[in-house]
Amino acid sequence: MSDNQVDRCLCWEVPFAFIREQVEAGALSSFEEIQDAFGCGTGCGMCAPYIRKMLYIYETEGRWQTTFQPGEAEEFEDPW
């Protein structure tokens, strides 16, 4: 993984792959449930668009972006 890659919520040290496992197992199904379970998105919030994207396309790695284009982070709303 390169320096600008991200594969986890850095504030709470929760890997996106672990979250995906929980989703695939049926334990969690929405971003709000992930927030409640692990705190992801409740710290700096930078992981939120990546988790939303992971819920949508099951991708567990991405490049850190310091900014998103308008609407880009909201593009991946919970599919459920």
Measured from the CB atom, the residue of 10 and 73 that comes closer to ligand FES is 10
CA–CA separation, 47 and 25 (whole Å): 21
CA–CA separation, 45 and 48 (whole Å): 6
Q: How far is the CB of 13 from ligand FES (least distance, A)?
A: 9
Token readout for 79 is 């599919």
**Quick check: 73 binds ligand FES (CB under 6 A)?**
no
**Quick check: 54 binds ligand FES (CB under 6 A)?**
no
Backbone angles phi and psi of 63, in degrees to 5: -90, 135
The pattern of x and - marking residues 11 through 50 that bind ligand FES according to CB under 6 A reads: x----------------------------xxxxxxxx---
**Quick check: 55 binds ligand FES (CB under 6 A)?**
no
* Single-letter amino acid code for the residue at 77: E
